[in-house]
Structure 1
């Protein structure tokens, strides 16, 4: 359990680091281009313009990362305070403080969040804005000062030590053996912690000195992965062999490396192939003096070529590093694959998929890789059975607490369950495996068909348990929410329909006159209606609806235009004042059902 918790913590750290870097990758690319062109080691050295990349790397990039990290923790307030606090880190060091910003930004936001929670109940009405501004300023300022004297100098020492270690590995030609750590880390989805937390800031140091860095190619080299996928395409078995060609295209040209992780985890010995492929690839890059001038995202062949300095020798070095890594991993994978036994892929457990799912979340580590591809494939299939079901992609860290159905790769399911414990979770081995999605689609079709049959046979428009006598309410919102909750409990609507009923009444009053109110949802809320239904609430003392007393409240939900018929039928019944008086004075629900008799009236 302890090892699992440590692993989970490191995975969360990797996800946080990735979430801070990925939204700002374009800024890194701009910096890399300017550095490659105008720094003293660049193609067009220019003393004046070289100030641009220098300012970007020392100020802009750390502030962007801190801002993004703070926003992940505490929205806009956290973003601003994170950026303020990071100024102290920047001023307290003479090297780019990328890694310092990754720490200080989220930390400052977290502190502000705790301060706000402690002060929330103590702030007098009308002083919220004043207090919020001053607390943000004080927290940000204090952390900035503290970071200036502590965090900045400390991280400067750490970065310099790590840089010296990497340089030592390079000088002693031991750098290739870092793949022994890098490749297994990738398979455990810990590559973001390693890549963005250590290799990126050290790589930036190298670029400023030499105009390029091999470190940016150590984790993003597509060679090891493509070699294994080619091997599986030729010598694999079952669905792995069928889906590997598609995975090859996505991994090599799209740069989404996560696509090959499950293939290796299905046959763990293949880790040997990618490790040795990585070692040989990095060795080739070091020997031929390869490298790029900016972080690579995504790790595709196109990105690598675009970020390679305009030198023929460097192009040859980078392409050779990829080619050698691919060939080595391919050759080593052949005997491993040929000795593998047939293995059935574990089927996803679809038994308990919720019947009225409206959103499906496909989640991966950073929300910008395999989840995008998986969501795209699944979306096309889902649209054929129900265009109202949304298929979304996101990072696991961004999954909403009210998620209904979450699909993840098998290795990430535990993290997804921890983030969205109330959702139904489906694990897949390959996000390209259409068979898994076909099973889900088949199950959704079956469940929806069964739900429709049950609705036709067993669910009436009005049930006795949805008639409430002798109720008291202090406001119209209270009674509308009561009516909405009754519709939810009866299985007519989703919970979000309640807010739509409130919104509809605020737009145009649902008081109809003669002591009758008929609250219902907005047009946009029709997607939240599961079955047509009605609830009746008797309020003998009345409840205020914009100055008018309502004694009978009809909460309705109509599917496929059924609410228009229901409104019309209730209007006809209540046009007779005798019917209204009888229902207001009714002592039992059967009398109200007899007067309304919606089922018979609908048939007629």
Structure 2
């Protein structure tokens, strides 16, 4: 038993570290998605093959992808590590990798931005308290300038060429998969990883940087569509709506709107976790959708974030709507048919009209590593920090990226509190950026450990489904 618990704890720690790494990658891209969309729209409209070709306006395309977007990533990555000073040195050193290569340096910015900020942070720690009064600004400015300048030269001569070589290798690898019609097999890995809340890390941290380089050359990339295709998730939710049972069936229509129109894919993850066999359905939908995209030559000009069908339309180049829609529809149909068969073959005594929340919690407890050891470790913290009504001024919903599912959960609880006449601030944030004045923090179970580490003094509530949880009503009753 002890050995099993130790293995579970170790596995759970690895999972948390993997999520943290994924959060670091996606955290550098997600805050800048608006700039990526701006570049994508300008590209789709004004390049020679765009909707309204305009050579003067198309002149923005090259500088934006070469300089603006990598610099934003480098600045954001540096800020995540060492605040504004980290952001400044991150952007400075990113310029080194930009000049040292001939391809858009998104991967390079993701490396040198946080790395240079970490180096500067170590210097700041080393001289902390040792600078004579009146010389602080001088030391701060010149230390950043000297370290940043040296690292920029190193990035120009060393890191830039290495990253360009790595980028070329990755691009060649993707091209080999495309040439041999093997690209759909990537979805065998992507779909299960998404359900474990690694979707942002996969899309924004891995696929998008490679896809942007391809889009800058040929005007579009299928790689933007591998993880973001809303079809597989839509098929799952349609199957629950039409052939499911219990609360999962009744909540599916609302989830369809949030997923397909709103682009928040996390909403369908609990529906799979309550019946893990359905992972076969989303894999089938993902593989068939990607195969259709590849067969018909589909591609997007930039990342469709969030993965809404509206974002797909906005990012589709001229003449690409039929291939795009075909891939989404095929993925939806295949996922729906497979999920329907799997749901119908579930023995009734296994399901027993099980509530979505209870079923998802049961599966999560089986799938989440180290539950026994981690629960024992975190329960005292949660219990000790339970807040009374008078002590609660701010409730924070936290998710991996701080934009999608947490915003949805915050909206649901905010409406419940307003209906009950309770005036408490409810906001959403990334799990790594929980405000210091948070009194109660609400997270999905897989992120609770990270939330506690980032905000140990708050009360923490773990849920499985941001759209519907009985803990919302319990919290409202407590705060009345």
Q: Give the whole-Å Cα distance in 2 for the aligned partners of 1:411 and 1:268.
A: 16
Q: 2:342 aligns with which of 336, 343, 346?
A: 336
Map 1:412-423 to 2 at 5 A. Answer: 412-423=447-458
Are the equivalent residues in 2 in contact too, given 1:42–1:211 (CA < 8 A)? no
2:367 aligned residue = none
CA gap of 1:16–1:386, structure 2 versus 1, over 3 A, is farther
1:4 positional shift: 2.7
What residue in structure 2 maps to residue 214 of structure 1? 222
Q: CA deviation at 1:49?
A: 4.6
Q: Displacement, 1:211? A: 1.3
- Deviations for 1:406-447, whole angstroms, at most 9, x for unmatched residues? 1112222222223223322212121111533112212333xx
Distance 1:5 1:100 in 2: 28
For 2:420 and 2:52, the matched residues in 1 are separated by 57
Q: Is residue 394–residue 437 contact of structure 2 (8 Å, CA) maintained in 1?
A: no
Deviation at 1:48, TM superposition (A): 5.5
> How far off its partner does 1:127 sit?
0.8
Which secondary structure does the structure 1 equivalent of 2:306 belong to?
coil
Q: Structure 1, residues 253-310: CA drift from partner, whole Å, max 9, x if none?
A: 0011111111111111111110110000001111111111111111101110111112
Q: Does structure 2 conserve the Cα–Cα contact (< 8 Å) formed by 1:10 and 1:193?
A: no
Matches within 5 A, 1:443-522: 443-445=478-480
Matching of residue 285 in structure 1 with residue 293 in structure 2: yes
* 1:64 aligned partner: 72
Confirm or deny: 8 A CA contact 2:42 2:61 kept in the other structure.
yes
Maintained 8 Å contact 2:97/2:160: yes
Rg (Cα) greater in structure:
1
When the two structures are superposed, what TM-score results if normalisation uses the length of structure 2? 0.88
Determine the C-alpha separation between the residues in 1 that align with 2:114 and 2:245: 45
Kept in 2: contact 1:41–1:210 (CA 8 A): no
Match of 1:175 in 2: 183
Pairwise CA distance, 1:119: 0.9
Deviation larger for 381-390 or 153-162 = 381-390
The question of whether the paired residues in 2 share the 8 Å contact of 1:239 and 1:433 is answered with no
Check if 1:125 corresponds to 2:133: yes
Q: How far off is 1:371 after superposition?
A: 0.6
SS in 2 for 1:392: strand
- Identify the residue that residue 354 of structure 1 maps to in structure 2: 387
Deviations 1:319-362 (A, max 9, x none): 11111111111111113223052335349999763212222111
CA distance in 1, matches of 2:479, 2:93: 49
Q: 1:49 to 1:4 in 2, by over 3 A?
A: same
1:321 counterpart = 2:321: no
Name the structure 1 match of 2:155: 147
Per-residue CA distance 1:352-379 (angstroms, 9 max, x = gap): 6321222211111101001111101101
SS state at 1:189 partner? helix
Cα distance in 2 for residues equivalent to 1:234 and 1:423:
41
Which residue does the alignment assign to 1:391? 426
Q: Which moves more between the two structures, 396-405 or 137-146? A: 396-405
Q: Distance in 2 between matches of 1:140 and 1:9?
A: 29
Is the 2:44–2:315 contact (alpha carbons within 8 Å) kept by the matching residues of 1?
no
| SS of alignment partner, residue 442 of structure 2 | strand
Aligned twin of 2:244: 236
Contact 1:14 1:190 in 2 (8 A): yes
Larger RCO of the pair (alpha carbons < 8 Å, separation 6+): 2
Whether the aligned pair in 1 keeps the contact of 2:231 and 2:289 (CA below 8 Å) is: yes
Output the CA distance in 2 between the equivalents of 1:120 and 1:247.
Answer: 51
For 1:413 and 1:22, how far apart are their aligned partners in 2?
A: 21
Q: 2 CA distance for matches of 1:47 and 1:443?
A: 62
Over 3 Å counting, the alpha-carbon distance change for 1:128 and 1:249 in structure 2 is same
Q: Please, which of 306, 310, 319 is the counterpart of residue 318 of structure 2?
A: 310
After superposition, give the CA deviation of every residue in 1:218-260 in whole Å (9 maximum; x if it has no partner).
Answer: 1111000011011111222332222211111000000111111
Counterpart Cα distance in 2 of 1:267 and 1:400: 35
Q: Deviations 1:449-469 (Å, cap 9, x if unpaired)?
A: xxxxxxxxxxxxxxxxxxxxx
Unaligned runs of 5+ in 2: 1-8, 362-378
In the superposition, the TM-score normalised over structure 1's length comes to 0.70
2:12 corresponds to = 4
Show CA shifts across 1:551-588 (max 9, x none).
xxxxxxxxxxxxxxxxxxxxxxxxxxxxxxxxxxxxxx
SS across alignment from 2:197: coil
RMSD between superposed Cα atoms in Å: 2.1
2:206 to 185, 195, 198: 198
Structure with greater proportional helix content: 2
Provide, for residues 372-406 of structure 1, a one-character-per-residue CA deviation record: whole Å limited to 9, x for no partner.
11101101222345644211100101014553311
Q: Greater shift after overlay, 84-93 or 230-239?
A: 230-239
Equivalent position of 2:473 in the other structure? 438
Cα distance in 2 for partners of 1:245, 1:60 equals 40
Match of 2:439 in 1: 404
